[in-house]
Chains A and B, each alone.
Chain A
């Protein structure tokens, strides 16, 4: 049977290419060399200030040339003939993703340290301890290679369950990040699905009309929820280009993001299809921002956001793209660790740009912190984020509670201290809030919309003029 139309389908989820342990092996090699880590730390500083991710360095080239052998050596116990599947192209791609993932991880850490905010609030205190991450990775690879034919999810679950609460919370955000970057094209497909599924009227309308059509058949019992589940699953299969029965293969590719959650009871697909936070927030932020900036086609690929930049705004744009990509992780971490909703840097940028649009364009303006929080809440409401957040959070989520949150000032401090011009603080009535690290009082944001959108455009590689 031909698969219709004769077009050759690309299968996104492939043996070896989307294997989580292959990804980990690439990262493991980088983490185990202290000299390389030093180079990456310095590169992270450069990345934040000029946007160069360092793929022209000798260190990276050295790493890339050795990585194939390392991965084969690390995993030959578990995978037969892995060398046959590790094409040079794949190795180059994975090596460069592992490098980017770690450099940006270190860059985000430096941003937090510089801002004196966010560690312990948006990310765990132990976020910078790479040795912990390395220990977990080592254990996972060891666990995988010491047994025959063991499922990836089982291995990951076993290792994660062995961690203490604190260890778990300080490691998983790093694993999520690695997973998102290493499998970015699979995640792009997942984002596509979320993007599609967020169009409620589209899916709901179809489900309803299909059930109505079926109810003409004698004996059919209408079940909207079952139909919706199957439709969503089919949409996911379509987006990741897998036939329905193979959907579980997707789990391997996104294993850390999918099962590295203690807040979720069961890891079935239904939860992921309807109530997921981490991978749902990402495309919502990206799509909303791109729409606000006037991009017609949506770019949902993570790799594209991490590609090196140069020129004016190269540094701030890189810092901003890291913050945008990290934002869903901030949110997920806060939910995992404290069952609490936070305002992320991406929320602030999105809402500021939304306010700017509502005020009709590119002029500078002042918006009170309350107004920004209100806009965040309305963005969450519009994009079906609020319902999802309420499922996991213990507290109430209203604009009033949001703007009092310390995560609001922490996120703002990250934006301002990263040198992302365009957003500044000011006081209109009373300096009720305090911006770390110097605890400067403020109650409003002064926004230079033109500058902010120029930087945000550079995130997606748009040149000015």
Chain B
């Protein structure tokens, strides 16, 4: 069984790379076919390496160090000297007290003297895991920014930081962006006017818009998570599948002799594997100002032994490893492959109610959310006795209208639990295409009796069939409350879902595929997780904000 041993070698390689790798280790392991990596192609295409400051952000395992490795490989070719500094190293040096600051001083002096001596000398200073050192090396970092300005075109500063890195309730990466970099001298030369706003907005919006490389005046931000987020969509399963095949090839080539068998098997199940990868759940950076979505392996329990962790390099490496190791995962991938094939041909129309139903079902399956159906409003918002009511209210209406809602419990700061309530209301459309007066009235009633309340973390998600029906929402809000749209009254447009997404919603709802095949329990769970982690990102308002995802995704823990 020569094939098996070749697969074993591949797996051993994967097991070796999923742990934390030092830069040198990374350099040793990944030496071949660097251009083949899809992430780097993207960076290349956008010309990110031409800027003076390159910020590389991303959750754990999205390939930051590998990106630095790539930057080294690319720029060394053009005659750049390369200096690698790790954040942990800086921390250690700073701990040494007075000597520490001398080390920083020395680093700066060394660079300056070389740059000053030789006008042809060009250097890349790459600081990895810089978030670690934000607190102690702030001045050093700002000095580096100053140097990048002074020796423009000859000193490139590469800063890589783990997006989720937090210390004592402060997200250090956000700190890096909003304090260290935006308050550095000449910050506007690099990031444009208002560096703080620009940097934070770019960080937040890059994920939801799926643009991994953002260029500023003299700097660039590579948000590796955003690269992956652009693949986190049911519409792009094909691309994700191709990317996974490419990654498998890339790993296989670096594992030693390229194992054809690995590539062939991955190729055969690529769509299924892509669906499994989509069932991971992204996380939200716990910073009220940044509130960025990232790909990150959290501590949430993995269901059905699948243990999908994150949609990024690390997660895919782990998935590929399991695919070859665990027959259960292999059969799941097999089934998922078939589901994808039938989804492609499935033509389904879904209405707002179906989407609501699927969301409710899916929320119950992920553990930290509880769907509550047909609940009288009075049980979440105690009703006030209407002043001057002409006749006593009786029967069902006594408790107010009934609603479906989801309770979201996520761990917030200081060990506290945050409870949010997402109340769903779907606007119904009659045969002529008008919003029915019943559902419009109910919407107004829900708003008037205080169901949505931002302060108390109750949000009203209004599922709207199409953009032209949004006026019913404006009518219900009225002029004086129009400002609540997008805050606690969240419109979500169903017509923004593509046909494959509609087919998916339909399949999840009935639990049966087009050819009357029942979806297995395990796969059903995978599909539910795709609803929470992926479909919620496609349900957006007219400004392109995925409000539901912001509310339903857990914090980085």
Task: Scan residues 211-270 of chain B and give those whose CB is less than 8 A from a CB of chain A.
Answer: none
Measured CB to CB, the nearest residue on chain A to B478 is: A310
Q: Is B540 an interface residue (CB 8 A)?
A: no
Q: How far is the CA of A45 from the CA of B288 in the complex (A)?
A: 12
Give Cα A46 to B381, complex, Å.
19
Residue contact B455 to A50, C-beta cutoff 8 Å = no
Flag if B484 contacts A50 (CB, 8 Å): yes
In the assembled complex, B152 has its CB within 8 A of some CB on chain A = no
CA distance A52 to B479 in the complex (A): 14
A315:B455 contact, CB within 8 angstroms: no
How close is B199's CB to chain A, nearest CB, in angstroms? 12
Asked if A56 and B453 sit within 8 Å, CB to CB, the answer is yes
B446 to chain A, nearest CB (A): 13
Task: Give the number of residues in A that approach B within 8 Å (Cβ atoms).
Answer: 24
Q: Say if the beta carbon of B139 comes within 8 Å of chain A.
A: no
Closest beta carbon of chain A to B261's beta carbon, Å? 56
Is the pair A314, B454 in contact by a Cβ cutoff of 8 Å?
A: no
Residues of B within 8 A of A314 (CB): 480, 483
Question: Which of A6-14, A35-43, A281-289 forms part of the interface with chain B?
Answer: A35-43
Is A2 part of the binding interface, using a Cβ–Cβ cutoff of 8 Å? no
CB neighbours (8 Å) of B384 from chain A are 61
Q: A310's contact among B450, B456, B483, by CB below 8 Å, is which? A: B483
Is A411's CB within 8 Å of the partner chain B?
Answer: no
Q: How far is the CA of A315 from the CA of B454 in the complex (A)?
A: 15
- Kindly list chain B residues whose C-beta atoms are within 8 Å of the C-beta of A52: 484
Interface centre among B454, B479, B481, B482 (most CB of A within 10 A): B454
Q: Is B381 within 8 A of A58, CB to CB?
A: yes
Contacts A39-B455, A50-B487: A57 and B480 contacting too (C-beta < 8 A)?
A: no
Note all chain A residues with C-beta closer than 8 A to B381.
Answer: 58
User: Is A39's CB under 8 angstroms from B480's CB?
Assistant: no
Residue pair B456, A58 in contact (C-beta under 8 Å): yes
Interface residue? B544 (CB, 8 A): no
Q: Are A40 and B480 in contact (CB under 8 A)?
A: no
Q: Does A49 contact B (CB under 8 A)?
A: yes
B457 within 8 A of A: yes
Is the C-beta of B11 less than 8 angstroms from some C-beta in chain A? Answer: no
B194 at the interface (CB under 8 A from A): yes
Q: Hey, which chain A residues are within 8 Å of B457, CB to CB? A: 42
Indicate whether A393 reaches chain B with its CB closer than 8 angstroms: no
- Chain B residues positioned under 8 Å from A43 (CB to CB): 454-455
Among B450, B455, B483, max chain A CB count under 10 A is at: B455
Bound CA span A62–B382, Å: 9
- Contact indicator per residue, chain A 57-74, by CB within 8 Å of chain B (1) or not (0): 111011000000000000
Contact assessment for A310 and B480 in the assembled complex, using a CB-CB cutoff below 8 Å: yes
With a CB–CB cut-off of 8 A, which chain A residues contact B506?
none
Contact check, A40 vs B482: say whether CB atoms are below 8 A apart: no
Contact at B453–A57, with CB atoms within 8 Å?
yes
**Do B482 and A58 touch (CB < 8 A)?**
no
Candidates B182, B183, B195, B455; contact of A46 at CB < 8 Å: B455
- The answer, yes or no, to whether A311 is at the interface (CB within 8 Å) is yes
Partner of A50, one of B182, B196, B479, B483: B483
On whether the beta carbons of B484 and A58 are closer than 8 Å, the reply is: no
Instruction: Write the nearest CB–CB distance from A465 to chain B, whole angstroms.
Output: 12
Chain B residues contacting A62 (CB-CB under 8 Å) are 382
For the residues of A in contact with B, the DSSP-based class is helix
Q: Report Cα–Cα, A61/B383, bound state, in Å.
A: 10
Chain A minimum-CB-distance residue to B380: A58
* A50: chain B residues within 8 A (beta carbon): 483-484, 487
Say how far B482's CB is from chain A's closest CB, in angstroms: 7
In the complex, the answer to whether B479 meets A54 with C-beta atoms within 8 Å is: no
Q: A50-B483, A50-B484, A56-B450 are in contact. Are A61 and B455 (CB under 8 A)?
A: no
Given A46-B487, A438-B194, A54-B455 contact (CB < 8 Å): yes
* A57 pairs with B456, CB closer than 8 A: yes
Give min CB distance, B486 to chain A, whole Å: 11
Docked complex Cα distance between A39 and B457 (Å) = 8
Contact flag A311-B455 (CB < 8 Å), given A46-B487, A57-B450, A61-B384: no
Contact string against A for B residues 446-461, beta-carbon threshold 8 Å, 1 for contact and 0 otherwise: 0000100111110000
Chain A residues whose C-beta falls within 8 Å of the C-beta of B382 in the assembled complex: 58, 61-62
> Which among A42, A58, A311 is the interface contact of B454 at CB below 8 angstroms?
A42
B455 — which chain A residues lie within 8 A by C-beta? 39-40, 42-43, 46, 54, 57, 59
Scoring B residues 138 to 175 as 1 if CB is less than 8 Å from chain A, else 0, what string do you get? 00000000000000000000000000000000000000
Contact assessment for B450 and A311 in the assembled complex, using a CB-CB cutoff below 8 Å = no
Closest to A310 in B: B480
| Contact, CB under 8 Å: B454 / A46 | yes
Complex Cα–Cα for A179 and B456 (A)? 27
Contact code string A400-434 (vs B, CB < 8 Å = 1, else 0): 00000000000000000000000000000000000
Query: Which residue of chain B is the closest to A54 with respect to CB atoms?
Result: B455
Closest 6 A-B residue pairs measured CB to CB?
Answer: A310-B480, A43-B455, A50-B483, A42-B455, A311-B480, A56-B450
29 sample A-B contacts, Cβ–Cβ < 8 Å, listed by A number: A39-B455, A40-B455, A42-B454, A42-B455, A46-B454, A46-B455, A49-B487, A50-B483, A51-B483, A52-B484, A54-B453, A56-B450, A56-B453, A57-B455, A58-B453, A58-B456, A59-B455, A59-B456, A61-B382, A62-B382, A310-B479, A310-B481, A310-B483, A311-B480, A311-B483, A314-B480, A315-B483, A438-B183, A438-B196
Enumerate chain B interface residues (CB-CB to A < 8 A): 182-183, 194-196, 381-382, 384, 450, 453-457, 479-484, 487
Extra contacts, 5 of them, besides A59-B455, A311-B479 (Cβ < 8 A), are A40-B455, A50-B484, A58-B450, A58-B456, A61-B384
- Interface residues of chain A, those whose CB is within 8 Å of chain B, are 39-40, 42-43, 45-46, 49-52, 54, 56-59, 61-62, 310-312, 314-315, 437-438
